[in-house]
Structure 1
Amino acid sequence: MSMLRVEDLRVYYSTPVGYVKAVDGVSFEVKEGEVFGVAGESGCGKSTLVHSLILRKPPMKHMGGKALFKGRDLMQLSREEARKIQYTELSIIPQYAMNALNPTKKIKDIVWDLAREHGYTDREEVEKLLRERLAMVKLSPKVADMYPVELSGGMRQRATMVVSTLLNPDLLIADEVTSALDVTTQRVVIELLHYFMEEGIVKSIIFVTHDLALLKQIADTVMVMYAGKVVEIGPMEEVINDPAHPYTQMLLNSLPRMGVHYKRQKLHGISGYPISLLNPPKGCRFYTRCPYAMDVCPEKEPKFVRVGEDHYAACHMLGGE
């Protein structure tokens, strides 16, 4: 069953010199019970994509396409309609989650403000639920009476996850939630997201990261983005173990591997820099950094080619039109 279906979505940023095409014709589907991974380097449009589903603020502007969430187009909801489904149906753990909590309020007061906005009237019941959820993520119930500044980074991250999921959203967006954490805390966060799914607290997750290795631990499906476009999408095992697009291959080759000595196999970075999205080329957006670029690449945008079961990539080397 489909939880979210995005069709040819275009979200740009308005600037004095033109539109920055941060998300430019993106399509994908998130099924109920699925962890959907979105990967790519900084500036590829990952965060713009997921934040456009929650709340669009100037200079962000919807330029076309649909995002059908449980049958409703998120792009057509009014601000008030969007606020009603936030945290109850659709929620986000923001990229800078450790700084997302109001430093002037105790955790219980932050939660009560959120619950009251969504129609809850029994504060005692809400605080009881908060303490139960804190215990679920291995935090003391006393954390409810503390200010965010009194918590360590890892504790704040888990407290933010509790706040974001307290009202049992159907779809949870986790935007770079592990980027500022040490490896041990990253593992805790991944385990908590698995736990939320197993307990039915959330039904589906969109997990955004620049680290493809992390997706191997949590995702069912992986979508790789570059310069506002989707370049590859498919089952996690296929995309990670048999990448079809040169960009995905190069991303994976830039990651360290367990048990491989650096003298035997050196890491390879991706040469060059991402293109400007103010005036992107009409063809493939990766061609300036691609070692396999052909004459057709700057002239014609590549179409998606099926390379496996539900596995697609957009590259002229793969054939297609």
Structure 2
Amino acid sequence: MEKVLEVNNLKIYYKTLKGYVKAIDNVSFYIKSGEILGIAGESGCGKSTLGNGLILLKPPMNYISGEAKLNGINLMTLSKKEMRRIRFKDISIIPQYAMDAFSPTKKIKKFISDLVKEHGINPDNKFFEKVKERLRLVNLDESVLNKYSVELSGGMKQRMIMVISTLLDPDLLIADEVTSALDVSSQRYVCDMLVKFRDLGIIKSMIFITHDVAVLNQIADRIMIMYAGQVAEIGDTETILHNPKHPYTQALVNSIPKSNIRYKEKKLTSIEGTPPNLLNIGEGCRFRFRCPYATEICKTKTPKIEELSSDHQIACWNWKKIEGENNE
């Protein structure tokens, strides 16, 4: 199947006075056409840096090495002018805190007009017929175009941003923590709508970034688990949520509340400790400080990605030993 995005050994660091923070360090993955890839992990694992780095590399982010090819074009080598030409059209983003993205002094229609003009599009009546069609798709009345953002509820703003980010039918949409500020029913609605956008061909593929692993069961075809700037495990949703191999993935999944289970019967488990400081971090597995299965090799050598199958990869020195112990 055609691959929309191929990322190979990508490194994006933050430059500080004390050195480099290795936020994205040797990350590799791909996204197939028509696929929704969920990316999950704790705060600070690099997932939002990855999403933003693909569409807008700006200080203090620094591209170090590697490549990220969108339809065969390496995004990391494009000039600002070249990137501006494909942004919103070939690759788009629903940013974190998107509901605060609107200008409070502009009506929604003016906001959209100014945005598309920057991409060489004439916001004429024909264009706004398309906008109105998309509004109906997310159950918004066209009257919202003549309102200011302060007149919209949080849910309405979220749906409006979804419409704006996908107006030019991008090949790849990056949805960054779009459900984090929503209640459960609104989360489900947003997930359903994004899947519908994919099914209708409005978007071709999507990266869905979240810290809530449970949400990915509703939307993702495959899941990539990140920890401390690196890939821990990648696999199809069923495998990651029901048969994870990496100890960090297992810990994340075990922290998800289960239905029909009382607190007295089984308490939720947490992951002890905190993620490591990524400033000038050396070799070794970055999860070793919190991993109950860590051995000597984990302290000195960074685990390489190992293919368990064509759609399942893991970065762990001891996964076979762990699996053997868990099956005893």
Quickly name the TM-score band, shorter chain normalised. over 0.9
Question: Which whole-Å deviations, capped at 9, do the CAs of 1:38-57 have from their partners, x for residues lacking one?
Answer: 11000000000010010111
Counterpart of 1:198 in structure 2 is 199
Gapped runs of 5+ residues in structure 1? none
Secondary structure, in 3 states, of the residue corresponding to 2:208?
Answer: strand
1:293: Cα distance to partner?
A: 1.1
Give the 5 Å matches for 1:47-86: 47-86=48-87
Question: Which whole-Å deviations, capped at 9, do the CAs of 1:8-48 have from their partners, x for residues lacking one?
Answer: 00000000000000000000001110001111000000000
1:224: Cα distance to partner?
A: 0.4
Q: Which amino acid aligns with 1:14?
A: K
Q: Indicate whether 1:299 and 2:297 are aligned.
A: no
Whole-angstrom distance in 2 between the partners of 1:115 and 1:63: 31
Counterpart of 2:140 in structure 1 is 139
Q: Indicate whether 1:310 and 2:283 are aligned.
A: no
Q: Which amino acid aligns with 1:16?
A: L
Q: Which amino acid aligns with 1:271?
A: E
Of stretches 12-21 and 95-104 in structure 1, the one that deviates more from structure 2 is: 95-104
Question: Which whole-Å deviations, capped at 9, do the CAs of 1:144-197 have from their partners, x for residues lacking one?
Answer: 111111000000000011110111111100000000111111011001101101
1:303: Cα distance to partner?
A: 2.0
Counterpart of 1:237 in structure 2 is 238
TM-score for the superposition, normalised by structure 1? 0.97
Q: Which amino acid aligns with 1:207?
A: F
Q: Which amino acid aligns with 1:260?
A: I
Whole-angstrom distance in 1 between the partners of 2:182 and 2:168: 25
Counterpart of 1:19 in structure 2 is 20
Secondary structure, in 3 states, of the residue corresponding to 1:66?
Answer: strand
CA shift in 2, pair 1:162/1:297, >3 Å:
same
CA contact (8 A) 1:92 1:172 kept: yes
Of stretches 243-252 and 254-263 in structure 1, the one that deviates more from structure 2 is: 254-263
Q: Which amino acid aligns with 1:120?
A: I
Whole-angstrom distance in 2 between the partners of 1:246 and 1:281: 21
Secondary structure, in 3 states, of the residue corresponding to 1:48?
Answer: helix
The sequence identity of aligned pairs, in percent, is 53
1:304: Cα distance to partner?
A: 2.2
1:318: Cα distance to partner?
A: 2.7
1:71: Cα distance to partner?
A: 1.0
Question: Which whole-Å deviations, capped at 9, do the CAs of 1:205-227 have from their partners, x for residues lacking one?
Answer: 10001111111111111110000
Counterpart of 2:326 in structure 1 is none
Counterpart of 1:171 in structure 2 is 172
CA contact (8 A) 1:304 1:314 kept: yes
Whole-angstrom distance in 1 between the partners of 2:98 and 2:5: 23
1:126: Cα distance to partner?
A: 2.1
1:120: Cα distance to partner?
A: 2.0
Secondary structure, in 3 states, of the residue corresponding to 1:14?
Answer: strand
Secondary structure, in 3 states, of the residue corresponding to 1:195?
Answer: helix
Whole-angstrom distance in 1 between the partners of 2:258 and 2:70: 38
Q: Which amino acid aligns with 2:292?
A: P
TM-score for the superposition, normalised by structure 2? 0.95
Count of residue pairs the alignment pairs up? 320
CA contact (8 A) 1:305 1:318 kept: no
Q: Which amino acid aligns with 1:258?
A: S
Give the 5 Å matches for 1:153-302: 153-302=154-303
Secondary structure, in 3 states, of the residue corresponding to 1:297?
Answer: helix
Whole-angstrom distance in 2 between the partners of 1:80 and 1:309: 37
Give the 5 Å matches for 1:90-129: 90-129=91-130
CA contact (8 A) 2:5 2:69 kept: yes
Question: Which whole-Å deviations, capped at 9, do the CAs of 1:56-85 have from their partners, x for residues lacking one?
Answer: 111100000000011110000111111111
Whole-angstrom distance in 1 between the partners of 2:40 and 2:55: 19
Q: Which amino acid aligns with 2:150?
A: V
Counterpart of 2:39 in structure 1 is 38
